[in-house]
Amino acid sequence: MTRSIQQLFDLRGKTALVTGGSRGLGLQMAQALGEAGARVMLSARKAGDLEESAAVLKAAGIDVDWIAANCASEADTRALADETLRRFGQVDILVNNAGAAWGAPAEEHPVEAWDKVMNLNVRGYFVLSQHIAKASMIPRARGEGPAGYTGGRIINVASIAGLGGNPRGMNTIAYNTSKGAVINFTRALACEWGPHQITVNAICPGFFPSRMTVGTLKALGEDRLAAHAPLGRLGDDEDLKGLCVLYASSAGKHITGQWLAVDGGVSAVTGG
């Protein structure tokens, strides 16, 4: 007999690691995974932010822990993976969300700022995915570990900025390039790791109010950006929850190598 929709979306017994999980989109997705029953590890650079966010999730009945780490550093990233596995035993769901942006005209963009964005937004995703898959997901797909393994889930947070250029006045060439790379990283990794029962998918958020977007929203105007969306609004603090749990759960077990924009329809508009 087929499972019910409630059973398909049930994440009880699963573990999840969410980077950039102390605030904004990362915290929203961590909360969604926890509400669906997963045990959640939050990671970000600042211990104070993590402690505060973990307390909020715990108050909501979510089983949560946290580790401070800088995912732009390979050593920090690998230590994060090892410590998560030490505490949780396994990682079923990895959400690569930690990211950085830099605003400057392309002709003036500092090379060191380009490297900073690429190291976190692309290299960091690769290093953590590689380590978690090699140490936890792939061995279990080979039968090493408890029975009943249902496959790994990797969710990469890209952006609609990875789908094309920007409105006039928004100069983020490194960020756009990095997010385009994340989308094809997602496709390529999905093809390579499919035989290991690992699905790899991407979420492409549009404009959501956050610390990262506060400058853009101020410069371009929230009302102007919302008006450009067919739905006439920006994203809010629950708009990524459904897609995140779909990708993470058995409901999404036949979805891999895909990206989906959560942007109020902005990416569907043509002709500016």
Mean pLDDT by runs of 10 across the 272 residues of the chain is 96 98 97 98 98 98 98 98 98 97 95 97 98 97 82 97 89 97 98 98 92 69 86 96 98 98 93 56
Predicted confidence at residue 12, as pLDDT, reads: 97
Answer whether residue 227 is part of any domain: yes
Residue 16, phi then psi, degrees to nearest 5: -135, 140
Give yes or no: 175 in active site.
yes
Catalytic-role residue among 125, 149, 175, 247? 175
In a domain, 271, yes or no: no
Question: What residues have CB less than 8 Å from 105, skipping those under 6 apart?
Answer: 171
Q: What is the pTM of this model?
A: 0.95
Residue at 222 is within a domain: yes
As a whole number of Å, the CA-based R_g of the chain is: 18
Please report whether residue 142 resides in a domain.
yes
Q: Is the residue at 74 inside a domain?
A: yes
Residue 272 in any domain: the answer is no
Strand ranges (E), 171-266: 198-205, 259-262
The domain total for the chain is 1
Q: Domain containing 140: what range? A: 5-264
Decide if 270 is inside a domain: no
- pLDDT one-digit tens code per residue, 20-58: 999 999 999 999 999 999 999 999 999 999 999 999 999
242-245 long-range contacts, CB within 8 A, separation 24+: 242/32, 243/203, 244/28, 244/29, 244/32, 244/33, 244/95, 244/155, 244/203, 245/9, 245/11, 245/32, 245/33, 245/36
* CATH number for the domain harbouring residue 162: 3.40.50.720
